[in-house]
Structure 1
Amino acid sequence: MDQTGGRALAIGVKTLTIEQNKQCRLVLLHDSDGKVLVLLPAAKLLNLVSLWREAGRNLQPTRCDDALRFFGQDKLSTPEGQQKLFSLPLLIDKSIDELKSIEIIEPYSGLSFTASKSWFGETTQALSLGISLDDIEKVQPQGDDEAVITHAVERFTALRIRQRLEDTLGLPSLAPTTNKIIELRSDPAAGVDHLVPVVKVDPSLSAQVMSWSVSPYYAAPGSIQSIEDAIIRILGFDLVVNLALGIAMGKTLDLPKDTPRNQIPYWKQAVYTATLAERLAKKMPYDARPKPGLVYLTGLLHNFGYVVLGHLFPPHFSLLSRYIEANPHLRLDSIEKHILHVTREQVGAWLMECWSLPEEVCRGVRYFNDPLHAEADSFSQVVYIANRALRQHQNADGPIESINDDVLLAAGLTQQIVDEEIARMNEHDDELQELTRTLSQ
């Protein structure tokens, strides 16, 4: 993972406090003609398309590590250095044009200071650059998830939705082995005797199971002699079924190419979220505890909709990536709604339903970013907690925020338990990274 000044980087910085909603955010952009500063209300999304149109330049956000280096310079800790910063070309949002002094923050570095309007040079332009989250919500399509997805696809393609949506979109069917594993996952009477024959007939899955069983993470004593040995003695039914499903789902579609720079790799986020969510589930009160195996699968697939977005909207995925880089403090679903009018949680959960994955997993993926929703349950809550905790440790992408106390209470967990499980998981970081490499091959 990229390092700058000893600090791990991920796509996501601290969300705004109430005070910071009154501040303005500084963004560094660049093109072939050089660097440009943008200043807009901190709570607003920087609308790159509007900026390109009004400025007449195809300005791109800098990488987060480059922004951290630039704004982390020692000289910017002094008023003289801060004033000199505005010798760069400056674009400001029209809503702040009348202010005489401005409270400024830069999210990546944490730089904050008060700037006088007199510091702005002659090259300053006032443009329409920001859009509020309320305005984004006002133009979202209404209806259930399938209606929203249909609207988004029709908006960006020439497709006419006449058949079932999943057929029309050209999404691939699951492999026969995967369908059999889904059936086993949904059958409460299924056991190892049913699973071993399914694994054996799929050479790729057999090799994967043997690879998992010798992974340092499971620290199995003795040598592994067979598929039966690997499943019965080391991995167990639940883990093999869940890992096999997660792998099959993740590899059904190609990972997007032009992703946000510095993001945590897809499989690392998946493995770390699944591992922490399962650990936390085992700490929940017994009478409210979700099945740890299904929690693991929910965590493994929590970001699957991101891959689906890349498949459905390839021409627009690069644009989405640039918006995420330019607005690292905003919720990812707000940015996706602005660009695509649909979120990764909606398309991911919908496709899992089409492929007949367990209802608990579909619901957990759909609502883990909204864990207090009426349809959210313990699966959503524990994956939300794991995801937010991992963001704080730069092991998952998204804005960094404190875990909602109401969600912790609903799950029967405490911040202390979360911190303890993170610490225990970090003791096995090398093994988890090795498992991640195994899954991503």
Structure 2
Amino acid sequence: MALSTRLELYLSRKGIPFDEISVTPGSNFEAAVLHSGLPREEVIRASLLIDLRGVVMAVHPFDARLDLEAVQKLTSRRLQPLTGPQADRLYDDCQPGFHPPIGGAWELPVLVEESVMSMPRAVMAGGSDRSLIAMEGRALRLALAGARKAHLVLNGSDLVSPPGQKAVTLNEVAEQLQKLYRLPPMPALALRIFRLTSSTEASARELADLIEFDPSLTAQILRYARSALFNYPGQIESVQDAVTRVLGFDRVAHIALGIASVRAFDVPRGGMLGMDEFWRHSLYCAFLCQKIAVRCKADKGLAYLCGLLHNFGLLLIGHLFPVEFQQLNSLREANPEHSMRSLEQEVFGSEGGQELMLVGHGAIGGILHRLWQLPDAVVKAAGVHQQVEYHGEHESWVLMVQLANELLKEKGIGDEFNLQDPSVPAARLGLDEADLNLLREEVENVSDDLDALARSLTS
């Protein structure tokens, strides 16, 4: 039986029945839940808190975020979350991250969100990455006997909420972000490019003139047009040539907008999350999104922009919190098996003034794009690209980014490395395995050129 030894002994001693649900080994708890196909509103989890008096367990729904202020008022203690490694040390007979929410097995005092105690069925970690366990309501209440019941979570605390519950909107989080932090405005040149391209009357000459006003941007656009990616046989002497002979208006506008917008952020170049890898990931994703759009008969220019700008949330986190960003960068390199969401929670979960970052870099990027008044599809693609089960507005653009990222994981490109099945988003877009193989072939054919282009944009 793939269970924590302590949990198995505790449940056996209490005579508490449960069922075991097999999951794919090697993933983290969040991925195991998502891939299980089980209703997320049935899943519960444990958050571990600590102060000088010791550790307390808080049990709450999977999609809810703990309200630390409520916990502190309830207990009259200044409890703070344990980091991931600290929690793993406490659960020394469990796989990392698979922490059963049954505190009695570890002789921990337990607080439980009151709604949990009325659940008809609950699914939870059992200590192993090979299975989850499920209990009927009566068994769950026996397992949590003695726990203190209270309202412990923020209402609508996540951007993903169980069905029937109200989710926090990007507008609500954006309002809080603007109050708490000085968010960078869109750089003046990027704003001028965006305004120009929003006009149906804009000409290639006007775009070229605007770009050529900035020598650095001009050089980068010319390097882009001259790259082997396009194999243009003639001479390219000006941005006007790049627009009219090689790239076209939309592609020049979009890459120029991306280059100019990145100047808003002061982020180090090195590491898996640094600027060098950001550009590499973004260019690959933009290329694939454009190819996917062609197969879906969608606007390939807008698809390119969605792919290019979808990860700006990481840059914003790096800009606002350079110390924490370095920690996140190091954790990403040391823990490729963990989701970015779990690493972000580990870095920001114990910082009292930075809880808002726990919505994830995707949502943060979507918020920034909305504040910059970028197209709604770009806002949504950035904001929910971490949500593999997303259904809603601009869904096709989100799916294009998700599919591109799944294909890029196979090449070790991006900030996530837990492979999911790319056929799922592909099927929702009306694509099949033959399409996926052609996309893999297309990106492989230009990988050297995309790598060279990414290096040129960061040099």
| Aligned partner of residue 253 in structure 1, secondary structure | coil
Match of 1:178 among 184, 190, 194: 190
The corresponding residue for 1:239 is 251
Match of 1:190 among 202, 222, 230: 202
| Aligned partner of residue 184 in structure 1, secondary structure | helix
Does residue 222 of the first structure (1) align with residue 254 of the second (2)?
no
The corresponding residue for 1:143 is 168
Paired amino acid for 2:170: D
The 5 Å alignment of 1:162-311 reads 165=178, 169-256=181-268, 265-284=277-296, 286=297, 289=298, 291-311=299-319
The corresponding residue for 2:444 is 426
Paired amino acid for 1:183: R
Equivalent-residue separation in structure 1 for 2:27 and 2:440 (angstroms): 34
Paired amino acid for 2:219: A
After superposition, the Cα gap between the structure-2 partners of 1:326 and 1:233, relative to the gap in structure 1 and judged at 3 Å, is closer
Deviations 1:106-135 (CA, angstroms, capped at 9, x unpaired): xxxxxx9xxxxxxxxxxxxxxxxxxxxxx9
Match of 1:367 among 376, 384, 407: 384
| Aligned partner of residue 188 in structure 1, secondary structure | coil
After superposition, the Cα gap between the structure-2 partners of 1:48 and 1:299, relative to the gap in structure 1 and judged at 3 Å, is farther
The corresponding residue for 1:353 is 370
Give the C-alpha shift of residue 23 in structure 1.
8.8
The corresponding residue for 2:402 is 384
**Does the aligned pair in 2 maintain the 1:149–1:342 contact within 8 Å?**
no
Q: Name which structure has the greater RCO, CA cutoff 8 Å, separation 6+.
A: 1
Deviations 1:307-340 (CA, angstroms, capped at 9, x unpaired): 1112223343345446556764444235435633
Of the structure 1 ranges 350-359 and 426-435, higher mean CA displacement relative to structure 2 is found in 350-359
Match of 1:332 among 313, 328, 340: 340
The number of aligned residues is 332
Equivalent-residue separation in structure 1 for 2:273 and 2:186 (angstroms): 30
Paired amino acid for 1:342: V
TM-score, normalised via structure 1 length: 0.63
Quick one: percent identity of the two aligned structures?
27
After superposition, the Cα gap between the structure-2 partners of 1:139 and 1:368, relative to the gap in structure 1 and judged at 3 Å, is closer
Give the C-alpha shift of residue 301 in structure 1.
0.9
Paired amino acid for 1:354: L
Does residue 19 of the first structure (1) align with residue 31 of the second (2)?
no
Deviations 1:193-242 (CA, angstroms, capped at 9, x unpaired): 22121112121221112211211111110222322222211121111101
Equivalent-residue separation in structure 2 for 1:275 and 1:23 (angstroms): 30
Does residue 436 of the first structure (1) align with residue 454 of the second (2)?
yes
**Does the aligned pair in 2 maintain the 1:345–1:367 contact within 8 Å?**
yes
After superposition, the Cα gap between the structure-2 partners of 1:179 and 1:262, relative to the gap in structure 1 and judged at 3 Å, is closer
**Does the aligned pair in 1 maintain the 2:267–2:318 contact within 8 Å?**
yes
The corresponding residue for 2:421 is 402
The 5 Å alignment of 1:35-54 reads none
Equivalent-residue separation in structure 1 for 2:51 and 2:334 (angstroms): 12
**Does the aligned pair in 2 maintain the 1:264–1:397 contact within 8 Å?**
no
Equivalent-residue separation in structure 2 for 1:233 and 1:23 (angstroms): 49
**Does the aligned pair in 2 maintain the 1:263–1:397 contact within 8 Å?**
no
Equivalent-residue separation in structure 2 for 1:255 and 1:146 (angstroms): 26
Match of 1:342 among 345, 359, 363: 359
Give the C-alpha shift of residue 172 in structure 1.
3.0
**Does the aligned pair in 2 maintain the 1:185–1:358 contact within 8 Å?**
no
Match of 1:414 among 392, 410, 432: 432
The 5 Å alignment of 1:81-160 reads 91-93=92-94, 95=100, 140=157, 143-149=168-174
Structure 1 residues without counterparts, runs of 5 or longer: 1-16, 26-42, 62-87, 106-111, 113-134, 154-164
Equivalent-residue separation in structure 2 for 1:180 and 1:207 (angstroms): 18
After superposition, the Cα gap between the structure-2 partners of 1:44 and 1:393, relative to the gap in structure 1 and judged at 3 Å, is farther
**Does the aligned pair in 2 maintain the 1:256–1:311 contact within 8 Å?**
no
Query: Please, what is the CA RMSD of the aligned residues?
Result: 4.2
Equivalent-residue separation in structure 2 for 1:194 and 1:262 (angstroms): 33
The corresponding residue for 1:70 is none
After superposition, the Cα gap between the structure-2 partners of 1:205 and 1:262, relative to the gap in structure 1 and judged at 3 Å, is closer
After superposition, the Cα gap between the structure-2 partners of 1:311 and 1:21, relative to the gap in structure 1 and judged at 3 Å, is same
TM-score, normalised via structure 2 length: 0.61
Equivalent-residue separation in structure 2 for 1:264 and 1:196 (angstroms): 26
After superposition, the Cα gap between the structure-2 partners of 1:90 and 1:51, relative to the gap in structure 1 and judged at 3 Å, is farther
**Does the aligned pair in 2 maintain the 1:46–1:326 contact within 8 Å?**
no
Equivalent-residue separation in structure 2 for 1:334 and 1:89 (angstroms): 18
Give the C-alpha shift of residue 411 in structure 1.
1.4
| Aligned partner of residue 295 in structure 2, secondary structure | coil
Equivalent-residue separation in structure 2 for 1:241 and 1:300 (angstroms): 12
